[in-house]
Structure 1
Amino acid sequence: MLELHSPFSNTRIASATLLDAWQWCYADLKAPTTRGNLAEYLVYLALCSDRTLAEHYKTRKDWDVVDLTYGRGVPDFSADFQAHCHSTRYGWGIEVKSTSSGSKNVQFDLEPRQGYVWNNYISKPYGKAIEIYRRWSDFFILAHFKDDEQETRDIRDLNNWEFFVVPTWAIEQNTIQLSSLRKKYAAIHFSEVKPALDLLIQGDVGHLKLYKLKNDIAKKMYCSGNIELAQKMFCLRAAKKARKKIKPTVNS
C-alpha cells in the first residue's frame, strides 16, 4: 500500500501529497466508477476479518478475473491442479457489482468478462490475459446504494446500502433489474454479508465445486494454449465476441 501523505516528486508544490490527489480525483463517491470501486472495498471490509481472504487482494486488482477470493476453496483437488489454478488454490472467487437508486437503470450487469490469470508460474507482472468470456467468479455480491431522488443520502452510511449474495451457477441472464432480484434473493445488511456467504458455501458445495472445476479447467486450458477448445467447452459466448472486429481508424 502507498503512504497516504507521501509527496509528489519533482514538483514546485512541496505540500502536494497522494491524499490531495485522491481527494481531488475521487471526491464524488456516487459517480458510477468510483461507487463501484467503493462497493468492492465494502465487501472486502465485510470479509477481511477472515484469515482465508487472499493476501493478493489486500488492495484492489484491476482486470483480475475475480475481485476477491474467500475461504479455502476446494481442498480435495490434486496438488498439481491447485498449483496451476489460482481460484481453486486460494478460495471461492467473488465478483462485486453495484448500482444506485440514483442511476437511470437500477440494474446489475452480470455479463461474462475477460480478465487476467494471476498465477505464480506466469512471469509477466500482471499475469496472463484471458481473451475469452466467462463468469469467472463463484459468487456475485451485488451492492445497492439506496439513494433518494435528491441524492442527499450519505454513501458512507452502511445503513444506506443493501447487499445480495448470488451463486454464479444460478445466473442465467446478463443483467438483472433490482425489482427482479428482490423476488429471488433476500436483501441483507453489510453486517450480514459474511454470515450469508458462509451459509451458502456450507449448504451448496456440490454446485460450487462443479462450477469452480469448469472455471479452473478453462483457465488451465487457456494458459496451456488450448484456446479454441476452452472456448468451445466452457465459453459459449466467446466465439461470437471474438468474431466482432474493430474497424481500424483512418488518420485524416
Structure 2
Amino acid sequence: MDLGPIEITRKTGEEKFKSKSDLNKISLLEFWQWSTSDLLANTTRGYLAEFIVANDLGVNKTLRTDWKSYDLTSKKGLKIEIKTSAYIQTWEQSKISKIIYSINPSKNYDPIKNRFDGKPFRDSDYYIFCLLHHTDQKTINPLDLDQWAFYVLETRILEEKLPKQKTITLSSLLKLNPVKCKYGQINKIIEP
C-alpha cells in the first residue's frame, strides 16, 4: 500500500459537501466562514499573519503546510518562522494583553519517516514577529494592514542570545534590535 503524501490543491470555496441524499448543499466557503471568521482568535490570527507575510514576500501562491518546522520559504529559499501577537483579543479583557511570542526550539518533523527527529532547534533563517498593534477594541481590524507592525530578526541572533528561551516579550525582542517595518517592506528586508 502506497501512503505517500497527499498533494493538496488550492480550493475556491465553491466546493460542495457530498451526501448520498443530495439534500446537503453546504459549501466549503460556509465552513471557512463558520470556522475562521474570528480573525482575532490566536490560531486564526496566526494563519492570517502567515498569509500577510507570504503576500509581502510574493510566495502566496503556494499552500500553507502544517507539519514543516518553519512557516514560509522565500523566493530565494530562505526559511521564515512567523509569530504573532496582539493587544486586543476577542474575549472580554480588563486591560490590553502583554505582547509575548513563542520562540521555543522544536524538533523537526520528518514526513517520510512520520516522526519527529533529533534535538529541538530553530529551523529557520529569519523570524518575523507580527504585531497587531491597534489598541482600540471598537476599531480593530486585522484586515487593515496599517494596524500591523513587523519585526524581522535573523534566527542566528536568537540562537546566540537566547538559545534555550521559550518565549520573548516585545520589550526583550526590541533589545535584540530587530528591523521594524510595515507591510510592503518585509521582502526588501529579507531579500534586498
| Residue 18 (structure 2) aligns with | 9
- Cα 1:170–1:151, aligned 2, differ >3 Å: closer, same or farther? farther
CA distance in 1, matches of 2:23, 2:185: 45
Matched, 1:181 2:140: no
Matched, 1:193 2:151: no
Write the deviation string for residues 182-218 of structure 1: whole angstroms up to 9, x where unpaired: 342242101100001124xxxxxxxxxxxxxxxxxxx
Matched, 1:98 2:84: yes
Counterpart amino acid of residue 25 in structure 1? S
CA distance in 2, matches of 1:33, 1:110: 16
CA distance in 2, matches of 1:115, 1:35: 24
CA distance in 1, matches of 2:71, 2:119: 18
- Report the identity percentage: 31
| Residue 126 (structure 2) aligns with | 139
Question: How far does residue 3 in structure 1 lie from its aligned partner after superposition?
Answer: 3.1
| Residue 42 (structure 1) aligns with | 52
* Larger of the two Rg values belongs to structure: 1
2:71 counterpart (63, 67, 71): 67
More displaced 10-residue stretch of structure 1: 22-31 or 143-152: 143-152
* Maintained 8 Å contact 1:8/1:18: yes
Point out the structure with the larger helix share. Answer: 1
CA RMSD of aligned residues (A): 2.3
Question: How far does residue 153 in structure 1 lie from its aligned partner after superposition?
Answer: 1.1
Write the deviation string for residues 108-160 of structure 1: whole angstroms up to 9, x where unpaired: 11110123246xxx4x6xx6533531101111111000132425311101000
CA distance in 1, matches of 2:65, 2:136: 33
SS at match of 1:162: strand
Counterpart amino acid of residue 94 in structure 1? I
SS at match of 2:108: strand
- Give the TM-score taking structure 2 as reference length: 0.78
Counterpart amino acid of residue 23 in structure 1? Q
Point out the structure with the larger strand share. Answer: 2
* Maintained 8 Å contact 2:153/2:179: no
Question: How far does residue 71 in structure 1 lie from its aligned partner after superposition?
Answer: 4.0
Question: How far does residue 12 in structure 1 lie from its aligned partner after superposition?
Answer: 5.1
Equivalent runs, 1:75-224 vs 2, <5 Å: 91-102=77-88, 104-117=97-110, 122=112, 129-130=116-117, 132-150=119-137, 152-171=139-158, 172=162, 173-183=165-175, 184-199=177-192
Paired residues, what number?
A: 169
> Which ranges of structure 1 fall in alignment gaps of 5 or more residues?
73-90, 200-252
- Give the TM-score taking structure 1 as reference length: 0.61
* Maintained 8 Å contact 1:36/1:97: yes
CA distance in 2, matches of 1:146, 1:17: 34
CA distance in 2, matches of 1:130, 1:190: 35
Equivalent runs, 1:51-62 vs 2, <5 Å: 53=59, 58-62=62-66
* Maintained 8 Å contact 1:65/1:117: no
Moved over 4 A (4+): none
Counterpart amino acid of residue 66 in structure 2? D
